Amino acid sequence: MPEEQGTTTGRCFACKRTFSFDPKEVMTFLIDPETGFPPGITFFGSLRPAKPDAVARSVDEPVCPDCVDKAKRFADPGNTPPQWESWPPTKD
């Protein structure tokens, strides 16, 4: 009998969408609640110094597969550095 246990529901850190995931399989990001970003790495994969106190207060937040995919694409070298949902190509 297939085991469907272990699936839980949570809110994607990035897009706030509720989605189901297996806690053992889901991609998570360690998020510093003060900044909303991981202490040692930005959501998009660029590195920055991680302070120990930031790491200590950070929590793992699940991220839905769509956003993982987006983050990977944004992390590609050569892409324009993104700003999540506020990336305005406004030119007057």
59 HSE (CA, 13 A, CB side): 6
Which member of 31, 54, 67, 71 binds Zn ion (CB under 5 A)? 67
Smallest distance from Zn ion to CB 65, Å: 8
From residue 23 to residue 62, what is the string marking binding to Zn ion with x (rule CB under 5 A)?
A: ----------------------------------------
List interacting residues with Zn ion (CB under 5 A): 12, 14-15, 64, 67
